[in-house]
Structure 1
C-alpha cells in the first residue's frame, strides 16, 4: 500500500500532511495578503500550500456531507484550471464576500492553471467560510488528476509532486452535496440507483478517495439523459445515465423542487431538462482553450427564482486559444444547441 493510500484509511482523524508540517500557530498566516497574491496568479511555495490546506481541513472536517446553503446564492459549475475565467466569474457575478457562491466541483485538470485556481478558492473558503461552499467533483481525485493534468502541472511548476499531494489529500474533506433552503438539491454529477433519499447521502463515508463504483461514485459521475427511462450504465466507465422518471421519483421522495449539477460540457453554457427539474451549469468557457463554448453561472435569488448568467471566455483564455489554434476544434453555436449539445468529458 502506498503512503497516499495509507493516509486515506486514516482520515479524518489520522495523519494528514507530512509529519514535519509546522503547527498552524508557528507560521504567520495573513489570509488577506495571500488572497491578493492568489488573485494575481501567484502560486505559493510548498510550505505555504501545506499550511493553507491544513487551515482549510480544519473547516471542512466540520461540514456535513450535505451542506445547508441559504439563498441568495450563485452556482458555479466546472472550472477545470481556467483561472482567468474564474476571475471573470467574479466580475460578472460579484466579488466574494458580496456574493454567496456554491461551487459544484471540478476545479482542476484540463486547464493550464489548476494550482492557481484551487488555491484561490481554498483561500476564499478559509476567509469567508459562510459565503463559499466547495463541493467535490469527480476530478477531485488522486487517480483522475494523475491522468488529466493537475499532477503533471504540479511536477512542472514545482519539480516534485508535493503540492499535488497536499491538495489532493484535502479533496477527501470536501462535502458531497448541498441543499439550498430545503428545496434545491445540488451535486456535481447526478443520481444513483442506490440512493433514493437525501438522508442516505449524509451516511456516506466521504473521507477517502472516490471509489470506482457505489453511491459515492454515482453522485460524482452520473448524467441525465432525455431519451432514457430508468438507469443505464454510463459510457464514462463510472456512474449511470438516468431518465426523467428517476428525477421525478427523487424529487417527490425528498419533497424538493429541482436539482442542479455540473459535470457536462454545454455549448450554450447550461442545459435545462425535464421541465426545469434537472439543470446543468457549465462554467468553463472555451473549454480546454479550443471548444468555443459559452459558460454560465446560475444566480438564485432569495425567493428561489433563478437566472443563468451566460458569459464568454476571458481575454487570457482567447490568447491561449490562439496559441493552440492548430489543435482547435471549431464547434458552431446555434440556438438549437441549447437543449441538445451536451458532450461527455471525464
Structure 2
C-alpha cells in the first residue's frame, strides 16, 4: 500500500465532490497525460458531484496507470461516506449497489506514497505505530478502515504546533502530532518533507514545523462556506517544489455540469486567467 513514484508530479489534496473545481485544477496543471498526478484522497462527500469526481479520477487511473495515482482518504470509507453525502448521492441517482461497488474499490486504494525518494505523502499524517515503512507495504488489501492503529492514523491524524509528541485529537479519532514527531520521522527515514491533505487551509497550502510538512487542500471555497483557495504542489525533475493556486470561481466562470444521468455534455468556459 506504499507507492514509490518518480517526478515530475502534480500533488493534489481534498476534492470532496467539487467536480467543476477538479476540471479547473486540470486546466491549471495540465490534463492527463500531459501532466502526472498524485491525489491524496477525499474525493467524495460534502460537494454536489461526488459521482462525477470519482468516476473521472478512476477513468484517468485506468487510462494512464503509470502516471496517474490515487491515495485513500478518510472519506473513502463506508462508515464515513455513509453519513456525509456519497451514499445518499449514489442511492438517489443510481442505486445502493453502486455505492457498495465503490466501497469495494476504496478498500483497495493505496494509503501512502514516496515521491522521488524524498517526500512522504499520505492523506492524514503520522502514526505512533509507524516505526518502519515496510509496515505500510504490509497492510493487506482490501481493508476497511479500523477505529485505531496505523491505517486509521495515516488517514486521520493532524499536525498541531501546540503539541509535543502525541496528543489527543479534536476529531476524537487518531492523534495530533507535534513538530518533534515530524523531525524524528524525517530523520529516521532519510526524507525531506511530508505532504498531506485532510485540513482546509486558507491559501490552498500551508507549511508546518520549519517547512518540514505541508498541507495541500485542493477544494476552493470548500462547501461554499470557507472562501479558501485551492492548492496544488508541483514537484519537478530536480525535486524543486512549487505551488499553483486555484482561487474560488465566480459562478458565471464555473464549468456547467448537469450530471452523469443527464443528456447534455459539460460546457467549459474559455481558458482565461480570470477563471483560475
TM normalised by structure 1 equals 0.72
Structure 2, unmatched stretches of 5+, are 256-276
Task: Say if 2:215 is the partner of 1:280.
Answer: yes
Within the alignment, does 1:296 sit opposite 2:244 as a pair?
no
Q: Give structure 1 stretches of 5+ with no counterpart.
A: 1-64, 321-346
Contact map agreement 1:77 1:262 (CA 8 A) in 2: yes
Aligned to 2:274: none
Asked if 1:231 is matched to 2:170, the reply is no
SS at match of 1:147: coil
Distance 1:282 1:137 in 2: 12
- Secondary structure of the structure 2 residue equivalent to 1:279: strand
2: CA distance, partners of 1:264 / 1:206: 26
How far apart are 1:308 and its partner, in Å? 1.4
Q: Which residue of 1 aligns with 2:176?
A: 241
SS in structure 2 at match of 1:200: helix
Is 2:206 aligned against 1:271?
yes
Distance 1:68 1:125 in 2: 16
* 2:32 aligned residue: 96
After superposition, residues 187-266 of structure 1 pair within 5 angstroms as 187-266=122-201
Report what 2:83 is aligned to: 147
Q: Give per-residue Cα distances to partners, 1:103-134, cap 9 Å, x unaligned.
A: 00000000000001000000000000011010
* Structure 2 SS opposite 1:162: helix
The answer to which structure, 1 or 2, has the higher relative contact order (CA under 8 A, 6+ apart) is 2
If the length of structure 2 is used for normalisation, what is the TM-score? Answer: 0.89
Is 1:123 matched up with 2:123?
A: no
Aligned structure 1 segments of 4 or more residues deviating by more than 6 angstroms: 317-320
| Structure 2: distance between partners of 1:198 and 1:309 | 30
Q: Distance in 1 between matches of 2:72 and 2:141?
A: 10
Deviations 1:135-172 (A, max 9, x none): 000000001011000000111112x3121111111001
Larger Rg: 1
Conserved in 2, the CA contact under 8 Å of 1:289 and 1:317? Answer: no
Counterpart of 2:244 in 1: which secondary structure? strand
- Cα distance between partner residues in 2 of 1:194 and 1:144: 23
* Deviations 1:75-114 (CA, angstroms, capped at 9, x unpaired): 0000000000000000001110010000000000000000
Taking structure 1 as reference, are residues 261 and 313 closer, same or farther at Cα in structure 2, changes over 3 Å only?
Answer: same
